[in-house]
Amino acid sequence: MKKLSILLVADVLFACQAEVPSEIPIAIIPLPQEISQQKGNYEIPANPMVYAQGEEAKRIIQLFLEATNTEANFTEDANAADWKIMISEESANKEGYQLDINADGVTLKADSHAGLFYGVQSALQLLPVNKPAQHLPLLSISDSPAFSWRGMHLDVARHFFPIEFIKKYLDMMAMYKMNRFHWHLTEDQGWRIEIKKYPLLTEKGAWREETLIGHYTDQPHQFDGQRHGGFYTQAEVKEIVAYAAQRYITVVPEIEMPGHATAALFAYPEFATDEGPDKVATLWGVFDDIFSPEEKTFVFLEDVLNEVMDLFPGEYIHIGGDEAPKVKWEQSQYTQELMKREGLADEFELQSWFIRRVEKIINARGKKLLGWDEILEGGLSPTATVMSWRGEAGGIEAAKRGNDVVMTPGFALYFDHYQGAPQFEPTAIGGLTTLADVYKYHPLPTEINAEEQARILGAQANVWTEYIPTTDQVEYMVFPRMLALSEVVWSGADKKDYADFQDRLAHHLPLLDAKDINYRLPEPVGLGVNAVQMESSFELVLSTILPNAEIRYTLDGTLPDQNSAVYSESLEIEIPMDASLKVMAIAISLDGRQSAPAIGNYTRQAPLPAVQMEDGAMAGGLTAQFFKQNFRTVSQIEEAEPVTEYKLSVPQIPVEVTGSVFGLNIQGIFIAREAGIYEFELNSDDGSLLKMGKREVINHDGLHGPSSKNGQIVLEQGNHLIQILYFDAGGGRGLKLRVKEPNGSWRELTEKDFN
Ligand code: ACM
């Protein structure tokens, strides 16, 4: 965090001596593509002469004038202006901009008004927080986004949020150059948009009798007895759409079908497949209630979608399509006869048929259908766009078929997941998606070629609100993870640098405070998650990006608080052989707020002795035993009978294995070229386990989506038995192991790593 201390020194100089530093710190998020800073700065005049090309350019530059407390004299003569804000046809990207600040003034050029808007957002981030703006750094920025779809979703159906909050959400999205607001408006637990032709959708469907208390898994279920609900009138919807448009955000409405429709079917049971639900859902989960594929239902849906399409001028209408159980269709005589008539082989083909009919309604208005990746099942229309949420598999398949894709994989972009150890976080749905996990996500999978990658419009984070009852809690889950996402979708893979992001994030926390955002305080950095040590004592260096915060820690496994030991400079840790030690550290901000703890587990280990090879008898690469069984845990694999065996050059799923639901036991000899601490990263979907000799290095067992776990081991130089157990229980699949050698950096394993 060296850069941070330099920046802080600059800030202190600025504050104490009221002197202008020769270089004002620049900490723009998302990081621009090209930025060069010159020494010196530009003094903001009280009454700059401004040339703004057209009314919209004028409105956009007013945002900057207001923030700097300046009153412009607008001129029609560009040559006479201090500031020039204009549309040029130079940039290749419609949303790009060029911002130049030199001693004579400011020039902002863009290909479009959106580009001008983003240029102003960058300029606003150059201003000090809570201080009058007097100077701007001299610089030149050439910028454009990596992706055209930079989305944030919000589920207002599980919990309803007022339009004031929706506006705040849009304000924050705009600050970070996000441009698609996916408004999840209908659900089992509430219908949130006024439809004039069907008033019961909101009269009955917008309210539920009560809400589950605690987590769904806490049995028996308890309810709060409080009526919950609300909806947006069409006038309010128009207000939000216009508010978003002023911020260059397109609102994408989602109207769920054929499942997740309990509230609608309670209001209008005549469109249900059976007699319909007896109430708006009060529990979370997936419900069997489903629209009936009858003509009258399509008339209803067409009426609803027409009102929706009148309100939302954007290109896309999201129709859900996810998690639609087929049991009621299986039991319905009408539905079964319809399937026969239409030649539909199963209920998945029926869902596909249903979605295609709805797509016609949407296409008739010149709009495009967007749906969750289940719309692939049973056949996909060539013109539909897919949101890949169950990992990336759906997105990859859709891109291969030539459909457009938005990546929203649960493992990286579900902001309803935990952000740290669950026992120290407010109740969330599950999962773990840290700030770093979001930051490292890249929406272009390497499995697909450049032409297929071009189908990936971008990425989006989803904020499902079963366990997020308040706007404060929404903010806690979204910030600062949305800032990390903004670099994923705007800056792109080549520009990303997590350490640099954290330095810049430090400058944004006061800005988030000024915007009254209840963000999650980042925990201190510097602790290893599962680290091993060779020496009896070692030094830990911790840091926090919170300005002027203190770090307090414990070594006894208890949660630190304001009375725990204060960290300064570094921490000397002593640890006996074969013992383990848990280090926990929190950051406490200047105003007394405490972060969640960072947790480090340290184990002292003697090096694992190298194995003696009997004249190379064991050499010859890796062997993978293949099991055709539905495992639930890796421990079942070794007890099973293998079907066959494959040779592998690196640990991975053998290319011959094409299906799903299987297990692997991969064994061989890993060559440690030098003695020391080796770190491995095991990524799998589903469970996996890494052992070296008899030592367990990484336990990543259980049913889960693609995710990584790390582990360390001390190795003698030489040959070591390595074993990887892995199973795929259906759904997505994947297995990958990477290594970090002593004093090395992360790299892929190759054939040469195995004897
Ligand atoms: C989803 O999370 N059911 C799209």
Tens-digit pLDDT profile for residues 603-658: 999 999 999 876 555 667 899 999 999 999 999 999 999 999 999 999 999 999 98
How far apart CA 624 and CA 654 sit, in angstroms, is 8
pLDDT over 60 (residue 217): yes
Ligand 1 atom 2, closest CA: 389
pLDDT-based confidence at 22, cuts 50/70/90?
low
All residues at 6 or more sequence positions from 83 whose CB lies less than 8 Å from its CB, including other chains: 48, 49, 50, 51, 61, 72, 105, 106, 107, 108
In this structure, the residues whose C-beta lies within 6 A of any atom of ligand 1 are 322-323, 372, 389
How far apart CA 394 and CA 409 sit, in angstroms, is 9
Q: Are 31 and 504 in contact (CB under 8 A)?
A: yes
* CB count in 10 Å sphere of residue 656: 9
The answer, yes or no, to whether the previous bond of 510 is cis (omega within 30 of 0) is: no
How far apart CA 247 and CA 535 sit, in angstroms, is 56
Q: Which two tokens stand for residue 404?
A: 């457009």
**Phi, psi values for residue 110, rounded to 5°:** -150, 165
How far apart CA 94 and CA 173 sit, in angstroms, is 19
DSSP-derived letter for residue 344 is -
- Average predicted confidence (pLDDT) for the chain: 93
How far apart CA 357 and CA 360 sit, in angstroms, is 5
pLDDT over 60 (residue 21): no
- Residue range 211-239: average pLDDT? 96
Determine if residue 734 is left, alpha or beta; phi over 0 gives left, psi from -120 to 50 gives alpha, anything else beta.
left
Measure 625 CA to ligand 1 centroid, in angstroms.
35
Choose which residue among 464, 465, 466, 468 to substitute to test ligand 1 binding: the one with the highest number of ligand atoms within 8 A of its C-beta: 464
- Taking the CA atoms of residue 306, residue 147, residue 180 and residue 484 in that order, the dihedral angle to the nearest 10 degrees is 150
390 residue type, one letter:
R
**What is the number of the ligand 1 atom nearest to the C-alpha of 320?**
4
3-state SS class at 749: coil
First to last CA, the chain: 40
Measure 392 CA to ligand 1 centroid, in angstroms.
13
Please give the C-alpha separations between residue 344 and each of 103, 264, 331, 332, 354, in angstroms, as whole numbers.
70, 26, 16, 15, 11
Strand 228-229 vs strand 707-715: parallel, antiparallel, or unpaired? unpaired
Ligand 1 atom 3, closest CA: 322
- Residue range 383-410: average pLDDT? 96
591 residue type, one letter:
D
pLDDT over 80 (residue 15): no
333-342 helix and 347-364 helix, angle to the nearest 10 degrees:
80
How far apart CA 153 and CA 408 sit, in angstroms, is 10
**What is the number of the ligand 1 atom nearest to the C-alpha of 389?**
4
Choose which residue among 386, 389, 465 to substitute to test ligand 1 binding: the one with the highest number of ligand atoms within 8 A of its C-beta: 389
Question: Quick one: pLDDT at residue 732?
Answer: 76
* Structure confidence by residue, pLDDT tens digits, 58-111: 999 999 999 999 999 999 999 999 999 999 876 567 899 999 999 999 999 999
Q: Are 403 and 380 in contact (CB under 8 A)?
A: yes
Question: Quick one: pLDDT at residue 618?
Answer: 62
Residue showing tokens 């400079």: 569
727 residue type, one letter:
F
Measure 408 CA to ligand 1 centroid, in angstroms.
10
How far apart CA 685 and CA 705 sit, in angstroms, is 5
267 residue type, one letter:
A
Pick from 22, 43, 177, 35: nearest CA to 99: 35
How far apart CA 287 and CA 208 sit, in angstroms, is 15
Measure 322 CA to ligand 1 centroid, in angstroms.
6
Please give the C-alpha separations between residue 721 and each of 615, 650, 666, 751, in angstroms, as whole numbers.
15, 14, 11, 15
Measure 387 CA to ligand 1 centroid, in angstroms.
10
Measure 410 CA to ligand 1 centroid, in angstroms.
9
Question: Quick one: pLDDT at residue 17?
Answer: 39
- Residue range 489-494: average pLDDT? 96
452 residue type, one letter:
E
Q: Which of 206-220, 507-521, 680-694, 703-717 comes out lowest in average pLDDT?
A: 703-717
DSSP-derived letter for residue 491 is I
Q: Are 525 and 562 in contact (CB under 8 A)?
A: no
Q: Are 143 and 122 in contact (CB under 8 A)?
A: yes
* Structure confidence by residue, pLDDT tens digits, 323-362: 999 999 999 999 999 999 999 999 999 999 999 999 999 9
Determine if residue 716 is left, alpha or beta; phi over 0 gives left, psi from -120 to 50 gives alpha, anything else beta.
beta
The answer, yes or no, to whether the previous bond of 137 is cis (omega within 30 of 0) is: no
Pick from 285, 273, 287: nearest CA to 347: 273
Per-residue buried b or exposed e for 261-274, using 16+ beta carbons within 10 Å of the residue's own CB? bbbbbbbbeebbbe
Question: Quick one: pLDDT at residue 92?
Answer: 63
DSSP-derived letter for residue 345 is -
Name the residue with higher pLDDT: 547 or 695. 695
* Structure confidence by residue, pLDDT tens digits, 136-186: 999 999 999 999 999 999 999 999 999 999 999 999 999 999 999 999 999
Question: Quick one: pLDDT at residue 614?
Answer: 66
The answer, yes or no, to whether the previous bond of 686 is cis (omega within 30 of 0) is: yes
Choose which residue among 189, 287, 323, 408 to substitute to test ligand 1 binding: the one with the highest number of ligand atoms within 8 A of its C-beta: 323
Question: Quick one: pLDDT at residue 616?
Answer: 53
Strand 598-604 vs strand 580-588: parallel, antiparallel, or unpaired? antiparallel
Q: Which two tokens stand for residue 269?
A: 């049971």
Measure 688 CA to ligand 1 centroid, in angstroms.
25
In this prediction, what percent of the chain has a pLDDT beyond 90? 89
pLDDT over 60 (residue 9): no
Measure 276 CA to ligand 1 centroid, in angstroms.
23
How far apart CA 610 and CA 597 sit, in angstroms, is 37
**What is the number of the ligand 1 atom nearest to the C-alpha of 464?**
2
All residues at 6 or more sequence positions from 359 whose CB lies less than 8 Å from its CB, including other chains: 369, 381, 383, 384
Residue showing tokens 């992001």: 501
pLDDT over 50 (residue 456): yes
